[in-house]
Amino acid sequence: MKIKSILLYIIGVLFLFFGNKNFWNDLKVEKEKEKIRQKESEAAKINIKKKFEVQSLQYDSINGQWKNPHFYFQLINVSYVNFSPANKAKKTVIESNDDENASDSQ
């Protein structure tokens, strides 16, 4: 009697899992999505790597220094740059002439 109850309980649980078609479908879809996500992530990693140029350094044993034989750009901190309009720029020039030109442009 006891074994029969246990068997029925197990069969019930199995039906609960394997008899639910939607559950298996959702599981399949989720697995597919996960695969796509993984592929995209790997592709993105490759793309990021492509954007960076890998430059190999050469060691100058005579001077004891590492040298970069490639062209490269360095970031330079130029501190505050005044981007105010040109007409506000105060540019003083030195002149020596003693004549001026008249015009009717204004």
Partner 1 sequence: MPQTANKLYIAQTRFIFHCHCKIKIPIEFSDSILDNCFDLMECIDKQYNSHREQSYFDLINRHAGSWVTVDQTTINLIRQLIRISEVTDGAYDITSVPLIRLWGFYDQGVKSMPSPKAIEEALRVVDYKKIDIKENQVMIEKGQEIGTGSFLKSYAVDKVAERLRENGITDAIINVGGSTICGINDENHTRWQVNVPDREEPIYISNKAFCLSASANNFVEINNQRFGHILNAKTGLPSATVQAGVISDSAFLSDALSTAIFALDQKTESKVMEKLKENFEFTYFRK
Q: Is 21 in the site for partner 1 (CB under 8 A)?
A: no
Reduce the DSSP state of residue 97 to 3 states and report it: coil
CA angle 84, 86, 104 (to 5 degrees): 145
Alpha-carbon gap, residue 106 to 102, rounded angstroms:
10
Give the containing element (helix H, strand E) for 59: strand 58-60
Q: Is 49 in the site for partner 1 (CB under 8 A)?
A: no
The nearest distance, CB 67 to partner 1, in angstroms, is 46
CB closer to partner 1 out of 54 and 86:
86
Number of residues that bind partner 1 (CB under 8 A): 17
Residues that bind partner 1 (CB under 8 A): 87, 90-96, 98-106
